[in-house]
């Protein structure tokens, strides 16, 4: 039986992905960081693994935990934001937190998960952001987060060449009403996830390595 893997499912978009896919009758394997996240995911009927994407030793255990699984769709949702602009240099602590979760964690999962996805000719989607796009940057807000997501886009586009039987993409969920996006965001978590699910379900070969938006638009410039 083919499964869906969701990395970073403790809350927000990741948890809603678990909810919508389990409601659709799919078998879901989800990763969380702690007991509270484990309980929320188990309540939705998913299988749970405990992984901290910011901890390389923890991420390195993912492959053996997935041994024998057939994954036709994987999502890398985990992410961290720090909001200072370019008038404030990032602290080492903030830099490490953002880059480990948003970039290093994703790059560590690719050699472990992408071969499983390639075996099923499936999709590996990584949550990016419209804030990663270099053309038309409106300000320096959250400049560390912007930088990390631009790096993620490059990591995925480069990795695509090593896994030609899989489709690797980055996808912008939009500005969403989550702990990260805040209550003033125009998109509900439910609508964002529905849009991303539809977009991923309609991918074509030309989308490999690209940045897409939750509503199906393809980014013309990164």
* Residue-level pLDDT at 221: 56
* Residue 219 maps to a domain: no
222 falls within a domain: no
Residue 100 belongs to some domain of the structure: yes
Q: Is residue 18 assigned to a domain? A: yes
47's enclosing H/E stretch is strand 47-50
Q: In tens digits, what is the pLDDT along the chain, a chain of 222 residues? A: 899 999 999 999 999 999 999 999 999 999 999 999 999 999 999 999 999 998 889 999 899 999 999 999 999 998 898 888 899 899 999 999 999 999 999 999 999 999 999 999 999 999 999 888 888 788 888 899 999 999 999 999 999 999 999 999 999 998 888 777 677 878 899 999 999 999 999 999 999 999 999 999 987 655
Q: Which two tokens stand for residue 37?
A: 């996240």
Residue 65: inside a domain: yes
* 69 burial level (CB within 10 Å; 0-12, 13-18, 19+): middle
State both tokens at 38: 């484990």
Q: Are 203 and 209 in contact (CB under 8 A)?
A: no
Task: Report the chain's mean pLDDT, rounded to a whole number.
Answer: 93
Residue 218 is classified by DSSP as B
Q: pTM for the full model? A: 0.94
Question: Do the domain assignments include residue 169?
Answer: yes
What is the distance between the alpha carbons of residues 188 and 65, in angstroms, rounded to a whole number? 32
For the domain that residue 185 is a member of, what is the CATH number? Answer: 3.40.50.720
| Total domains in the fold of the chain | 1
Q: Tokens for 31? A: 């990763």
- Is 220 inside a domain boundary? no
What is the Cα–Cα distance from 33 to 10, expressed in whole angstroms?
A: 7
Residue 218 lies in a domain: no
Please check whether residue 102 is in contact with residue 145, taking contact to mean a CB–CB distance below 8 angstroms: yes
The range of the structural domain enclosing residue 164 comes to 2-213
């Amino acid at each position: 039986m083919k499964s869906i893997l969701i990395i970073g499912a403790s809350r927000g978009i990741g948890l809603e992905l678990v909810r919508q896919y389990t409601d659709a009758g799919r078998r879901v394997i989800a990763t969380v960081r702690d007991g509270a996240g484990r309980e929320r995911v188990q309540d939705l009927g998913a299988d749970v693994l405990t992984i901290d994407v910011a901890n390389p030793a923890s991420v390195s255990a993912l492959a053996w935990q997935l041994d024998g699984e057939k994954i036709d769709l994987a999502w890398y949702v985990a992410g961290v934001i720090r909001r200072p602009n370019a008038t404030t240099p990032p602290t080492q602590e903030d830099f490490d937190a953002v880059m480990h979760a948003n970039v290093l964690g994703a790059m560590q999962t690719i050699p472990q998960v992408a071969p499983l996805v390639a075996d099923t000719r499936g999709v590996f989607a990584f949550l990016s952001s419209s804030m990663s796009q270099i053309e038309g940057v409106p300000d320096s807000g959250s400049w560390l987060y912007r930088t990390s997501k631009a790096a993620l886009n490059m990591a995925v586009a480069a990795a695509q060449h090593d896994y030609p039987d899989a489709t690797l993409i980055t996808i912008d969920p939009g500005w969403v009403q989550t702990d990260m996006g805040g209550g003033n965001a125009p998109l509900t978590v439910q609508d964002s996830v529905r849009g991303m699910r539809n977009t991923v379900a309609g991918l074509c070969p030309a989308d490999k390595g690209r940045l897409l938006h939750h509503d199906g638009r393809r980014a013309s410039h990164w």
